Structure 1
Amino acid sequence: MSYRQRLSLFVVIDSLIVITAIFISGFLVNADINVFTLPIVLSAAVILTSHLFFSWKLNLYKKAWEYASIGELLILIKIVTYSVLTALIAQQLILQETAFRLLAVTWLIHLLFMGGSRLTWRMYRNQLVNRYQDKKRTLIIGAGSAGTMVVRQLLHNRDCDLLPVAFIDDNPHKHQLDIMGIPVIGGSNKIAEAVEAFKIDNIVIAIPSLNKKELNTIFSECAKTTADTKILPMLEDLVTGKISVNQVRDVRVEDLLGRTPVEMDIELVSDSITDKVILVTGAGGSIGSEISRQVSLFNPKRLILLGHGENSIYTIEMELKELFKDSQIDIKTEIADLQDANKMMDIMRRYVPDVVYHAAAHKHVPLMERNPEEAVKNNIIGTRNVAEAASWNGVGTFVMVSTDKAVNPTSVMGASKKLAEMIVQEMDQESDTRFVAVRFGNVLGSRGSVIPHFKKQIERGGPVTVTHPDMIRYFMTIPEASRLVIQAGALAEGGEIFVLDMGEPVKIVDLAKNLIKLSGNSLNDIDIEFTGIRPGEKLFEELLKKEEIREEQIYPKIYIGKTADLYIEEIEQIVATYSSLSREELRETLLVLANRKRPAKQKEMLPISS
């Protein structure tokens, strides 16, 4: 219906309401069938004219009554009051008398009919929308501003298939109240009971201010039901219109992590990246590709994507060129093997980067246990080649991505990363380039991580395999890990090992249970099997050894570890002899050196197992 048609319809309806209200008032006041008296006819003409004038003046006909609130009701009261007062003045001026009783009753009936007509239309429309759409009965967690906004939009959104039928809120003052016609039935301990009583299909968590611990508590209650649990997007995104309320999303495992992500110092990072030449090794990997995305946000002059796998490098190149097509970033790609020292030197010589983010590495613990020589070639020799090329060509800052598995390592992968850290720290002492390492825990969703593995097992119907019931790990998201690497580059003075305060560690079995629940299954549907600790694995990971710990934070939630003993000559011996050793000999040699605690200046060489 066009605006003109809508306006004409409202004028006709309101005119009939005004006339009917006046003549009914005349009949009630005079108790006479003959209501066509001069005071009544005069009042009818004046009130009708005044009503239409004040309705136009106060924009009544521009209001959508299906979304009416207290504001629209106040406007209606003003219009009716002004119209009746105008009639009172007209009676006094023309008739020299005023029919107070007539006008008082007219005011009441006029307001009742006007408000009633709007309310009737709103109720009819709501029933019509709900009747002809197959909507899912929805429980809203949170009866605050966000929850009421969700309910308002859901009730009037034809495109959304969610129908709010009840609220849950932990504020006892709201219990047993109706908000927008929706009952508040109790606190979060009533979730399971409400789902059963109201036959709930969906649960929407609509409390943006929830911290991770509170969200975990609520999700645990929701997981006891068969309802599909979703979470509200950021409230500011709803208010600004960036997203709509029907874009509620599934709860993700990242939402349940008991930590607050670290944010970057934008100004400091911008100074280190904007209009600079940046090189990322391993740019096709999970961390390397995300570093490349976030670096691009700061408009570097040139971004070099270096990697060994052509498909992954091509993919991130195409993605960045599409995402930043309106920017002036010069994106270059290099397919190269870190073990090719001449190629590394050539790349550094041609581009002379200001910052190098070294994210390329072999990271899979079981695979490196079976192939220790590859860990030496990629993680140790590869790091040395890139670091030496960076130093030789005057790179400003070199940031190496490391791991918590480098602390007291029990695996080949952890040991190789520990020795790579030593190489980087030694290079810092000899070079004008600032060399630093960044150490963090497991990354959610990275290639080969436990999350995608669990999801595939759940999709197949289980079982989900966990190595040990007491296995715990630190977790962070890929964007957060990448921000830490970038922030470290901006903070670098040289020689540091940056460590993130990872929050509370997570039990892997609890993570598996949450993923099963998030997938819409119950723990009765998907079994969890314990397979035993794999070679090289530890029950728990550490981020710093005792002798490395410094208590002060250099940046919120970022610590700097003390420089450890460096065994460069022994590392060089491993590099020179690894190909002649058996895998068992090489594995033992790496672990002994990575865990050695004697002074670095001692010249005694490592014993080689026979």
Structure 2
Amino acid sequence: MTSVYLMMPSYRFSATLYDLLPMLAFLAALSVLVAVRLDLPYLRLNAYESRGLHRTVQMAIVLGASGALINQFLQVNVPLSLFFVFTLMVAFLGITSRLALRQITLWIYSQNNDRMRVLIYGAGQTGQQLVAALRTDDKVVPVAFIDDNPTIQSLTAAGLPVFAPSSITELVREKKIDRVVLAMPSLSQPRQARIAHGLREMGCEVHALPSFAELVGSGDLDKRSTPVAMDDLLGRTGLASELPGVSHAYSNRRILITGAGGSIGSELCRQLIACKPERVVLLDHSELALYSIDKELRDLTTGLKIVPVLGSVCDEDLVRQTLVEHEIDVVLHAAAYKHLPMVQTNVISGLNNNVIGTKIMADASREAGVERFILVSSDKAVRPTNVMGASKRLAELVVQDLATRSDNTMFSMVRFGNVLGSSGSVVPLFEEQISRGGPVTLTHGAVTRYFMTISEAARLVLLAGSFARGGDVFVLDMGDPVPIKRLAQQMIEAAGYTVRDRHNPNGDIEIKITGLRPGEKLHEELLISPDMLTTPHNKILRAQESYLSEIEMATALKDLRRSIEGRDVDGAMAVINRWVESSVEKKPSRVTS
């Protein structure tokens, strides 16, 4: 007890120590009890900051006050000022020893090269709270702040330097930053998304953090968007409930779905389960897509025979073997390359898959004695202005030609517009652009499209098979086409944001016009000929359209195969322009999606 000799130099050592022994023993025992009561032994070193300091001071005061009371009770006659010094020394030694141990521990951890180095974007309250939290983590080390406010740049906040955004590239390189955390919850989501997008372009991994008040419920944890009404997206009321059931046409049948892992193909598989077929054969050239739909169907049903076949519809031997081995009754042909810009820049691959693949599949189905063959087509096949649409029209012509010469197989096709939520469609594209803060890109302000749901599209394909009489082109009454600009505005506002334009320069998200892509139409059509026939359902119509003769079709396919085998794009385009009623460019432009 050094303070005794500082304050009482006249005391003899033995007498003083003897007099103080009871007091020292009591204070030692009391210090243990107080420390346990205040949880000091259980407070981790790397969490020892303001809370640990406060508790250590509390313990020192309790010990000093207890010593003073014992002094009076035992009449040791130690001056009261000694206990004041004793209290200060206990607090000082307790705090400095723990802080020293904490720094040593942190230094040992800092030698670990696996610690994640984090840059905090935003030096406000949330950012400083984040730094305090990260300092208790052994695997993370906050390095510095970035803030847009010039008044705090070059200062220090929460023990870390604050830099301007212009310093990010240099900091990431010199400080070996692993991750940037956006700690600015007060900023609008589009503004945060734009900052994050810029950081990712620098090669940074970026994460956003809500405020701590939001995390515990005093604010909205995320912006709750209101979905766009389905009727607004479709431009009409939904038809899913109006379309009749089709179980009778597929019950106890062996069914092959090509493109089974795609948007339409996978929905066809789901709806077919309810029809209780005997067997479903899934054909797709994507291993991941095939695995996903195979696993999903096995989880949804038991007892149904499901056969995944990995391969392409252009593999003639595989197609024939599959049809014969599984004694297929119905073929639903949904396999196709459908993304307009991709097919426009890969003409040979697009025509080979969409046209020759359909020919191989249809011929093999006819030879195997398949009862019904249904082709999934597109509104872009009507007077196409692009290679994808022309390939789908040629596929239709292939099926129409076979329908005139088939005694056993019933060939038909179904044609519809854009499918909401399918891969590459406009809705998920807009959602992704809105989520990153925009802009939402639009090729033309006057563009319109027909829309239908995936469920409607799949049901229409199944109905086409049950209504087919041979060579039919089925079309759904899809109502009025939807202006895409209006759709973009609805989706932005439904997400809780405002459109930024000349009328509202302070809005959140801009709609940017990029110009029509090569081969893209302003307005799509569903019919080549205005002549229509009814079907058993008033919302489904049968189109009467002309087709090529057997000799014309054979000539077109011969020339197309020759062009594909020789990788002759000009020759392939010549086939399209000769045999398809269209205005396709003579040579496709190189475009990017």
Tell me whether 1:586 sits opposite 2:586 in the alignment: no
Q: Which residue of 2 aligns with 1:314?
A: 291
- Residue type at the aligned position of 2:519: G
Q: Is the 8 A contact 2:528 2:545 kept in 1?
A: no
Tell me whether 1:364 sits opposite 2:339 in the alignment: yes
Post-superposition offset of 1:255: 4.1
| SS in structure 2 at match of 1:400 | strand
Post-superposition offset of 1:593: 1.9
Q: Is the 8 A contact 2:228 2:490 kept in 1?
A: no
- Residue type at the aligned position of 1:549: D
Larger Cα Rg: Structure 1 or Structure 2? Answer: 2
Q: Is the 8 A contact 2:339 2:424 kept in 1?
A: yes
Q: Which residue of 2 aligns with 1:563?
A: 545
Q: Which residue of 2 aligns with 1:529?
A: 512
Q: Which residue of 2 aligns with 1:416?
A: 391
Q: Which residue of 2 aligns with 1:455?
A: 431
- After superposition, residues 391-430 of structure 1 pair within 5 angstroms as 391-430=366-405
Q: Is the 8 A contact 1:472 1:539 kept in 2?
A: yes
User: Which blocks of at least 5 consecutive residues in structure 1 are unaligned?
Assistant: 1-247, 598-606
Report the Cα distance in structure 2 between the residues aligned to 1:564 and 1:336, rounded to whole angstroms. Answer: 33
Q: Which residue of 1 aligns with 2:194?
A: none
- Residue type at the aligned position of 1:303: V
Report the Cα distance in structure 1 between the residues aligned to 2:546 and 2:558, rounded to whole angstroms. Answer: 18
Report the Cα distance in structure 2 between the residues aligned to 1:489 and 1:570, rounded to whole angstroms. Answer: 27
Report the Cα distance in structure 2 between the residues aligned to 1:262 and 1:354, rounded to whole angstroms. Answer: 28
Q: Which residue of 1 aligns with 2:524?
A: 541
- After superposition, residues 339-354 of structure 1 pair within 5 angstroms as 339-354=314-329
Q: Is the 8 A contact 2:255 2:329 kept in 1?
A: yes
Report the Cα distance in structure 1 between the residues aligned to 2:376 and 2:345, rounded to whole angstroms. Answer: 23
Structure number with the bigger relative contact order (C-alpha 8 A, sep ≥ 6) is 2
Post-superposition offset of 1:251: 2.5
Report the Cα distance in structure 1 between the residues aligned to 2:515 and 2:574, rounded to whole angstroms. Answer: 22
Tell me whether 1:518 sits opposite 2:527 in the alignment: no
- Residue type at the aligned position of 1:385: I
1:155-194 CA-partner distances (Å, limit 9, x unpaired): xxxxxxxxxxxxxxxxxxxxxxxxxxxxxxxxxxxxxxxx
Structure 1 stretch 394-403 or stretch 573-582: which is displaced more? 573-582
- Residue type at the aligned position of 1:271: H
- After superposition, residues 485-496 of structure 1 pair within 5 angstroms as 485-496=461-472
Post-superposition offset of 1:249: 9.2
Post-superposition offset of 1:575: 1.8
Report the Cα distance in structure 1 between the residues aligned to 2:460 and 2:375, rounded to whole angstroms. Answer: 11
Q: Which residue of 2 aligns with 1:474?
A: 450
Report the Cα distance in structure 1 between the residues aligned to 2:512 and 2:582, rounded to whole angstroms. Answer: 36
Q: Which residue of 2 aligns with 1:5?
A: none
Report the Cα distance in structure 1 between the residues aligned to 2:279 and 2:336, rounded to whole angstroms. Answer: 23
- Residue type at the aligned position of 1:354: D
Flag the 1:409–1:267 CA change in 2: closer, same or farther, 3 A. closer
Q: Is the 8 A contact 2:226 2:495 kept in 1?
A: no
Q: Is the 8 A contact 1:403 1:417 kept in 2?
A: yes
Q: Percent identity?
A: 42
| SS in structure 2 at match of 1:430 | coil
Report the Cα distance in structure 2 between the residues aligned to 1:261 and 1:336, rounded to whole angstroms. Answer: 35
| SS in structure 1 at match of 2:490 | helix
1:300-339 CA-partner distances (Å, limit 9, x unpaired): 11111110001111111111111113xx211111001111
Q: Is the 8 A contact 2:226 2:496 kept in 1?
A: no
Among 434, 439, 444, the alignment partner of 2:415 is: 439
When normalised by structure 1's length, the TM-score is: 0.55
Among 281, 304, 322, the alignment partner of 2:281 is: 304
Q: Is the 8 A contact 1:473 1:540 kept in 2?
A: yes
| SS in structure 2 at match of 1:251 | coil
Measured on the aligned residues, the alpha-carbon RMSD in Å equals 2.3
Flag the 1:264–1:360 CA change in 2: closer, same or farther, 3 A. farther
- After superposition, residues 134-533 of structure 1 pair within 5 angstroms as 250-252=226-228, 254-256=230-232, 257-263=234-240, 269-325=246-302, 328-431=303-406, 432-523=408-499, 524-533=507-516
Q: Which residue of 2 aligns with 1:31?
A: none
- Residue type at the aligned position of 1:527: E
Q: Which residue of 2 aligns with 1:600?
A: none
Report the Cα distance in structure 2 between the residues aligned to 1:552 and 1:487, rounded to whole angstroms. Answer: 14
Q: Which residue of 2 aligns with 1:173?
A: none
User: Which blocks of at least 5 consecutive residues in structure 2 are unaligned?
Assistant: 1-223, 500-506, 589-593
- After superposition, residues 111-150 of structure 1 pair within 5 angstroms as none
- Residue type at the aligned position of 1:461: G
- Residue type at the aligned position of 2:572: L
Flag the 1:608–1:535 CA change in 2: closer, same or farther, 3 A. closer
Flag the 1:551–1:396 CA change in 2: closer, same or farther, 3 A. closer
Flag the 1:532–1:266 CA change in 2: closer, same or farther, 3 A. closer
- Residue type at the aligned position of 2:421: G
Post-superposition offset of 1:271: 1.5
Q: Is the 8 A contact 1:495 1:563 kept in 2?
A: no
Flag the 1:266–1:463 CA change in 2: closer, same or farther, 3 A. closer
When normalised by structure 2's length, the TM-score is: 0.56
Flag the 1:608–1:323 CA change in 2: closer, same or farther, 3 A. closer
Q: Is the 8 A contact 1:264 1:487 kept in 2?
A: no
Report the Cα distance in structure 2 between the residues aligned to 1:608 and 1:505, rounded to whole angstroms. Answer: 30
Report the Cα distance in structure 2 between the residues aligned to 1:559 and 1:266, rounded to whole angstroms. Answer: 13
Structure 1 stretch 554-563 or stretch 412-421: which is displaced more? 554-563
Q: Is the 8 A contact 2:281 2:308 kept in 1?
A: yes
Flag the 1:517–1:329 CA change in 2: closer, same or farther, 3 A. same
